[in-house]
Amino acid sequence: MTELLDLRTDDGVATITLQHGKVNALCVELLAEIEEVAGRLAADASVGAVVITGGRRIFAAGADITQFAADTNPASFALADGGRVREVGGAFLRALGAVAALPMPTIAAINGVALGGGCELALACDFRIVAADARFGQPEILLGIIPGGGGTQRLARLVGPAVAKDLVFTGRTIDAAEATRVGLADRVVEPDDVLAAAQAWAADLARGPRRAIALAKRAIDAGLDRSIDDGLALEQDAFVEVFATRDATTGVQSFLEHGPGKAVFGG
């Protein structure tokens, strides 16, 4: 890893902290590191949940806009060519796709702002726990461009097309209360409590039946892009598969011997 990101693991929870300058701008280099770390975590059996944070002050203010310019001098300003734009967009696609594909639960712990690419990174997570004073938005339209890291797709799937179009077409920011109301935020806590609350939630999830959770996550996420019949078939395949796991043996045996809710899973 470079100085752009910090990774720490404790109690089955991996915490990824963005640390790129004052606003955690998502440059190509940081995105490549997120992709690489997500790939490693996906294969790490010791990790049962992942928290992504930008620290106490800010989550991420968006893409590094300088990477969209071939010349930043005001007198001779020129946008990057299509090849460079596709390179940056591809970095977002791969990094955020790697986060979304993690087989364990993921939680974005959000202080300050999550704007543009920062909001899109949060959308790639399963859950978002946010500070009471946090703000969200997809302000790309104010630059005359559109979101390129999932803002037109993951956002619409999460909050519905009408709300997504409102946020994308206007570029306006919303506060934690509105984010909760539209379904963008899952839990709101005081600013000083965001990371600890996210890690505690993640630790609870990490103590659960990890293979069962991974199969349930796969069925839910993949099923969203299929017909209901195809989604139900996918669920049935995962349902059969989970019975071949230690999770199922532990859970069903515990239920028969001790009743519901008493199983202790090994992680």
Among candidate residues 9, 71, 51, 60, the one with its CA nearest the CA of residue 30: 60
Q: Which residue has the tokens 């620290």?
A: 55
Rounded Cα–Cα distance for residues 180 and 190 (Å):
14
Angle at 109 between CA 105 and CA 114, to 5 degrees: 115
What order of strands is seen across the sheet that includes strand 49-53?
A: 5-10, 13-18, 49-53, 106-110, 127-131, 187-189
Active-site choice (140, 178, 241, 257)? 140
Sign of CA dihedral 266, 97, 65, 122: negative
29 is catalytic: no
Active-site choice (3, 33, 120, 235)? 120
Determine contact, residues 99/121, Cβ cutoff 8 Å: yes
120 is catalytic: yes
The set of catalytic residues is 120, 140
